[in-house]
Amino acid sequence: MRHKFTTLTNRQKLLAGGMCFCLLAVALYFYMGLGKDTGQQVRRSIPEVRVMEVERRDMLRHIVLSGQTVANASINLAPKYSGRITAVNVDLGDQVEEGQVLMVQDLGDLDISIAQNTAAAGAAWADAREASASYHANIISKKNAYDLAKGKYERQQYLFSIGAISQDTLDSAEKEYTASKAAYEILANQVSDGAAAAIESKELTAAKQDYATEALKKQRDDMVLRAPRSGVITYRNAEVGALAAANSKVFTLVDNSHINIDCNIAENDAAVLQPGMVVSVAIDALGRNFSGRIVFVSPAMGEDSKSYQVRLVLDEMDDAIKAGLFAHTAVDILQRPQTIFVPQEAVVTRNGETYVFVLGKEDKVEQRLVKIGLMNDDSEEIIEGLNEGETVILSNQDKLQNGMKVKVAEL
C-alpha cells in the first residue's frame, strides 16, 4: 500500500517557523522574568541595617537652654503728682547716671507754701520758747520763795522754843511756809508729768508746722524726676509746657549694664543644673558666641508655664546686644563616667521585654535581652546584656528575627 505525502509549500513553511519562534520567545520571556523576580525576592528578604560598635564612654546629658536677652532692669518712670512740666533734660538714647535730673514740674506754688510754713513754724517755736522761759522763771521764783519761807519757819520754831516769839508769830511763819511749798509743788508736779500744758500745746503747734514744711519739701523733691539708677532712656513722653498727670509714664529707663537670658526648662533638667555653671551663649542675630554663667535656677515650678525658670548672665557687656534677641546654649552634664550606652533607636521593647539586636558572625543577628540604666534624650545605658566591642543594629528592627542574615548599610 503506498502512502501519499503532502508537500508543504514555502508559505506554509514560513508560517510554521514563525509560530515556533513565537512560542520559543514567549517561553524565554517568562523564564527570564520569573528568574529575575526570584532573585529580587531573595535580595529583598535580606534587610539592610545601620550599625554601631559599642564602646565605653562618658555618658552625658545634653540640656539645651534657649530664651530671649533681658536687660538688667527696665523701669517705667512717672511723676507722683500732676503738674506743668518746666524742664526736660534728656532725650531718647541718652545715657544717664543715678540721681540725674530728668524732668522738673512747676515748683512755684510749692516754694511759696514752703516759705510760709517755714515762717509759721519759726514763729510757733519762738512762742513755745517764750512760754517755756516764762514757766521756768516762774518755777525758779516759786522755788526761791519756798526756800526762804522754809528757812524762816525753821528759825521761828527755834525762837518759839526758847520763848523769844509768840504763837501768833510762829503761826504766821508756818502759813507762809505752807503756801510757798504748795505753789512750788504745783509747778514741780507739772514738770514731772512731762511739761506744762501751755508749753506742750505751743510745742505741738510748732512741731506740726515743721511736719507740714517737711511734707511740702518732700512733695517738691518728688516733682523733680530723677534717674533711680544708671541706664539708657528708651521711651520719652514729656515736653516743656505739657501737663504731666500723676502716675502717667513719661520715661522708660533700661539698665544694660548686665544682659540676662531667661529660659524655661523641664523638671528633670532643673534637678541637675546649678548656679555657677559656665556656658557659651549663641546669639543668632549677631552671629557670635558670648561667655556667661547660670546665676539662678528656680526652686519651684511656675504655675502658668509648668516649667522651671533658669537665668543666665553674660560675663561682658557688648553694645551690640539688645534686649529681646533670641539666644541659646547647651550644657553637658556627666551622668556616668565610662559606661556602655546606645542610641535610643537601638533599644526595642516587645511583650514587656527590652532587648537589642547584636550583629554576629556571617552578618547574622542575635536578639539579646538587656537591662536599662540611666537615660537621657538620645541614649540609654545598658547595664546588663551588652559588652564593649560588640556591634548593635540601629535600624529596621521590626523586620529582624533571631538568627536572620542582614546586610550592613554602607556609610
- For domain 79-105+226-248, give its CATH number from 3.60.21.10, 2.40.128.720, 3.20.20.10, 2.40.50.100: 2.40.50.100
Question: Domain extents for the chain?
Answer: 49-60+337-408, 79-105+226-248, 109-221, 256-333
The whole-number pLDDT of residue 64 equals 94
Strand-pairing partners, residue 392, are 52, 358
From the CA atom positions of the chain, what is the Rg in Å?
52
Establish how many alpha carbons lie within 13 A of residue 55's alpha carbon, considering only the half-sphere containing its beta carbon.
5
Q: How far apart are CA 127 and CA 122, in angstroms?
A: 9
What is the grid cell recorded at 10? 514555502
For residues 242-251, average pLDDT? 96
- Supply the DSSP string of 216-239, one letter for each residue: HHHHHHHTEEE-SSSEEEEEE---
The answer, yes or no, to whether residue 35 has pLDDT greater than 70, is no
The answer, yes or no, to whether residue 194 has pLDDT greater than 60, is no
What is the grid cell recorded at 181? 511749798
* pLDDT confidence bin for 169, thresholds 50/70/90: confident
The whole-number pLDDT of residue 32 equals 52
For residues 355-375, average pLDDT? 94
The whole-number pLDDT of residue 9 equals 53
The answer, yes or no, to whether residue 126 has pLDDT greater than 90, is no
The answer, yes or no, to whether residue 235 has pLDDT greater than 60, is yes
Of 74-78, 129-133, 206-210, the one with minimum mean pLDDT is 129-133
The whole-number pLDDT of residue 20 equals 55
For residues 126-136, average pLDDT? 75
Of 16-25, 64-73, 264-273, 281-290, the one with minimum mean pLDDT is 16-25
For residues 88-107, average pLDDT? 96
User: pLDDT by residue (tens digit) across 366-396?
Assistant: 999 999 999 988 999 999 999 999 999 999 9
The answer, yes or no, to whether residue 2 has pLDDT greater than 50, is no
Residue 191 vs residue 38, higher pLDDT: 191
- Supply the DSSP string of 44-107, one letter for each residue: HTS-EE-EEE--EEEEEEEEEEEEEEEEEEEEEE--SS-EEEEEE---TT-EE-TT-EEEEE--
Instruction: Establish whether domains 109-221 and 256-333 are of one fold.
Output: no
Write down the mean pLDDT value for the chain.
Answer: 85
Q: How far apart are CA 75 and CA 102, in angstroms?
A: 14
* pLDDT confidence bin for 130, thresholds 50/70/90: confident
Q: Which CATH number is associated with domain 49-60+337-408?
A: 2.40.420.20
CB atoms within 10 A of CB 85: 20
* pLDDT confidence bin for 38, thresholds 50/70/90: very low
User: pLDDT by residue (tens digit) across 272-285?
Assistant: 999 999 999 999 99
Domain covering 109-221, topology: Helix Hairpins (1.10.287)
Pairing between β-strand 407-408 and β-strand 48-49 as defined by DSSP bridges: parallel
Q: How far apart are CA 246 and CA 316, in angstroms?
A: 38
Proportion of the chain above pLDDT 90, given as a percent:
56
The whole-number pLDDT of residue 139 equals 73
Where do we find the cell 551690640?
A: 320
Q: How far apart are CA 70 and CA 256, in angstroms?
A: 9
The answer, yes or no, to whether residue 34 has pLDDT greater than 70, is no
The architecture that CATH gives domain 256-333 is: Beta Barrel (2.40)
The whole-number pLDDT of residue 223 equals 94
The answer, yes or no, to whether residue 245 has pLDDT greater than 70, is yes
* pLDDT confidence bin for 144, thresholds 50/70/90: confident
The whole-number pLDDT of residue 195 equals 54
- Supply the DSSP string of 281-337, one letter for each residue: EEETTTTEEEEEEEEEE-SS--TTT-SEEEEEEESS--TT--TT-EEEEEEEEEEEE
